Every structure is written in C-alpha cells, then in structure tokens.
C-alpha cells in the first residue's frame, strides 16, 4: 500500500531510534518525557545530543518539562539550539490548565520550530491558530488514540483540524498516540500530514495490503508451530 502520510517514529530507546532512522519509510521522530523515563534515560540533554549526533537530517521533537512558563521558554530556547532539525514540544496548557498561547507566540516570534502537543479538540487548535500562522514551521499533535480511549470517534476531530489549518502551509497535523496499524490507513485516507507511532506498530507496516486468506493461513501456522515448539501434549 502506497502511503502519502509521513511516518514518524515515537520513542526514546536509542537502538530502536537508530533502527528506524535507517528505515527509508521513516521521515521523522518524536519523543516525550514519559517515553524517556520508560527507556531509562537519566540525563535529558546528554541523551538528546547523543541522538542528534546520529539523526541530523530528519525532524525530531523534544519536549519541555517545566510547569512554569518562564522556565518553559528557557528550556525551549536551549532545546531549539541543539539542531536545525529540532522541534520543541510545547504542551497546549500547563498542569494547572493555563493556556500556553502566550508562550507559543513568544517562541514563534523567536523563530523556534514547535510541536504543540497534548491537543484533543479542534477548539484548542483554533485558539492558538492566530499565533501560529505568522511563525515558523510547526506541528500540531492531536492525540487521536486518547480521544478514542475516551469513547469518542477521532476521525471527525482530525478532519476538522485539517480543515482549520489547510490555508496555512507552515502548519502540519500529527496524528498522535495511534493504537493500531489501521490508524495509519485512517490518517492516510483523510489526508493527515503525519502519523507518529511506536516501533511495535511501525514494524507491522509490511502487513498492509496483505491477502487476508494468506494472513489467515499464516496465523494458523503460527499457532501450530508455537504449540509444537512448546512440546504441548494433552
């Protein structure tokens, strides 16, 4: 299956990131503090600079982690200085629910490339749109997977966001937090610019378009082979 949507790898495990960097299907990378903690990253800056010594020619997002907007700005300026391919992830609000609008505007005026993250509604995108359309390249990450986890169909929301940002070529929509490979197909069908997914999902890409009868037979063979190798008896 030929895809128009760009594929970004989401993770913070060095070997996995390098593996995906060497995959010609992967166009960029995203990380976040939760993934970094899960991967055992201790020194944030050391990890980031190490990765950037390898990944120099594809966009990669690193997130600020303060809850204070002045400190967020300081971190954002520092992170941005690490490379021309760096996008700084700014959460749509801080933990108190206060909008990051003013910070986003300041960073945009300073030429910082951003990835505005943790977005769940088109209204959130519309609120920050006036300060994005005059700035540098920016991603808006809408967490479609978490929207689905709330029992809400993410497709109408993602489609609405695409309509909202369509007039502005400097803004691209990221379909974030996919739960299955079919989300890649969905993102592609609605014209989403980017989908970011973990390696376990991206490694399933070769199954796209596979004949379902062949897939059925392969599944039967897998069950049989595993039972044989386990030496099961009844």
Does residue 114 belong to any structural domain of this protein? yes
Domain span at residue 79 reads 6-206
**pLDDT single digits (tens) 205-231:** 999 999 999 999 999 999 999 999 999
- CATH code for the domain of 127: 3.20.20.70
Residue 230 lies in a domain: no
Mean pLDDT across the stretch 164-190? 97
Indicate whether 83 belongs to any domain: yes
Number of domains in the chain: 1
Q: 189-200, pLDDT tens digit by residue?
A: 999 999 999 999
> Is the residue at 93 inside a domain?
yes
Is 89 catalytic? The answer is: yes
Torsion angle (degrees, nearest 10) of CA 15, 21, 27, 33: 30
Model confidence, pTM: 0.95
- Whether 224 is in a domain gets the answer no
Q: What is the pLDDT of residue 2?
A: 87
Measured distance CA(159)–CA(129) in Å, rounded: 16
Domain membership flag for residue 199: yes
Q: Report the candidate in 17, 230, 205 with the shortest Cα–Cα distance to residue 9.
A: 17
Q: Indicate which residue of 2, 37, 73, 89 is catalytic.
A: 89
């Amino acid at each position: 299956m030929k895809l128009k949507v760009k594929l970004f790898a989401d993770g913070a495990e060095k070997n996995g990131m390098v593996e995906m960097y060497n995959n010609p299907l992967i166009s960029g990378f995203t990380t976040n503090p939760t993934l970094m903690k899960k991967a055992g990253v201790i020194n944030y800056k050391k990890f980031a600079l190490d990765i950037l010594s390898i990944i120099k020619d594809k966009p990669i997002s690193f997130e600020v982690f303060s809850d204070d907007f002045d400190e967020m700005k300081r971190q954002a300026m520092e992170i941005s200085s690490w490379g021309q391919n760096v996008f700084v992830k700014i959460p749509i609000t801080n933990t108190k629910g206060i909008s990051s609008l003013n910070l986003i505007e300041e960073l945009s005026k300073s030429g910082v490339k951003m990835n505005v993250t943790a977005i769940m509604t088109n209204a959130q995108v519309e609120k920050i749109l006036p300060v994005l359309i005059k700035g540098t390249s920016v991603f808006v990450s809408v967490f479609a997977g978490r929207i689905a986890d709330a029992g809400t169909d993410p497709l109408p929301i993602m489609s609405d966001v695409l309509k909202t940002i369509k007039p502005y070529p400097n803004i691209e929509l990221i379909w974030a937090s996919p739960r299955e490979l079919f989300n890649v197909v969905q993102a592609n069908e609605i014209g989403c610019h980017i989908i970011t997914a973990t390696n376990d999902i991206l490694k399933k890409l070769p199954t796209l378009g596979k004949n379902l009868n062949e897939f059925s037979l392969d599944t039967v063979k897998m069950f049989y082979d595993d039972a044989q190798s386990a030496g099961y008896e009844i």
